[in-house]
Amino acid sequence: MPNLIEHYISHKIIDNGTTVFSFIKMHYLEDHGIDGDYHQDMKLPFKTHDVSVNVFSFVFPPKKK
């Protein structure tokens, strides 16, 4: 979360018209490619997916009496 806040503030300093919504839209909903702050962008939460989860489920039929 600190990276998100710090990065938002840096965008706000560059462009005072940057809103929280426009920041989220730019970084999470649009593909703005590799730019000057790409490495900072990749430090934002949920930008990379390092964890993979696999779930297996076994269903056994009920025993006949």
- Taking a C-beta distance cutoff of 8 angstroms, is the pair 23, 8 a contact? yes
Three-class SS of residue 11? helix
pTM of the model: 0.64
Band of the pLDDT at 55, cuts 50, 70, 90? confident
Sequence-separated (6 or more) residues with CB below 8 Å from residue 10? 37, 40
- Render pLDDT for 23-51 as a digit per residue (tens, 0 to 9): 999 998 988 788 888 889 888 888 776 65
